[in-house]
Amino acid sequence: MAERYILVTGGAGFIGSHTVVELLEEGESVVIIDNLSNAAADDKGLPPALKRVQDLVNEKHRKRLHFRKGNYGDRKILDSIFTEFPIYAVVHFGAFKAVGESKQVPMKYYKNNVKEALSLLKAMNAHGVKNLIFSSSCTVYAEVPPEKLPLTEDSPLGECNCAYASSKYFIENILRDVTVSDGQWKVMSLRYFNPVGAHHSGMIGEDPKGIPTNLMPYIAQVAVGRREELNVFGSDYPTPDGTPVRDYVHVVDIAKGHVAALKALPAMQQSFRAYNLGSGVGTSVLEMVQAFERASGVVIKTVMKDRRPGD
């Protein structure tokens, strides 16, 4: 394979960093752009997660990893990346993702998730880079009755109940329009459900700045004493134990899904395709807590709270 590079936006994040490992191990060269808004950084600005990525891969792979700090929609930075590196495709993770926060500050989400994405697409188009893997979400689907589950790629879309979901839905529609206007584009949108877990090495995983918004890191922080208790939002859902049910999928499987999507781009018969990434199995919050307790031997203190807006 002639040298080519994959640009990964948000590559210092949870899913992004795991995907970078998989890309490097597949022999790809990678450029990451990340503003580190949800990732710790040392005094040199290099995220610890990416230092650990470097430690995970061999020296040959390590030399093929490059990092640029900045907003993924910054046209000046993007132009310099596209000029310096022969970018073959973009894997786009660079979005804010907290459902609750997106209901409180929707404009923040539309600016970062939509406006900046448009800037990225314009830069890609200007430099003739028209291969894109988009990190979408199951939240683009409309609510359906239980008999219509599990969700498939043909399930109805829209009726989004928060700015995060709407931003993903809007970008998918924009990408469809772009591919219709120019058939040279090849776009794959991966709608994943609830990524959990960590790399088998234990060196990278989900360790957000501030209070976790996802279940697994919150449970883990309670287990090690960083937090006193786990708030369970909603105990009156129509589920066996009353707590929300989610489709949890391991983050490494998600990462491998992005690599598979990248490999499939050349053979795409349509310019835009969407695929679900999930297990198809529902697990409640309490079931997840109990599984963690069994695996760790640590009792997790839980407190029942009212439902969260957007859930």
Paired tokens of 183: 């058939």
**What is the DSSP code string of 3-35?**
--EEEEETTTSHHHHHHHHHHHHTT-EEEEEE-
Residue of 72, 164, 169, 218 marked active site: 164
Paired tokens of 81: 């990346």
Pairing of strands 245-250, 282-284: antiparallel
* Contact status, residue 251 vs residue 206, Cβ threshold 8 Å: yes
Instruction: Say how far apart CA 140 and CA 274 lie, in whole Å.
Output: 11
* Contact status, residue 164 vs residue 96, Cβ threshold 8 Å: yes
218 is catalytic: no
| Phi–psi pair at 72, nearest 5 degrees | -70, -15
Active site residues: 164
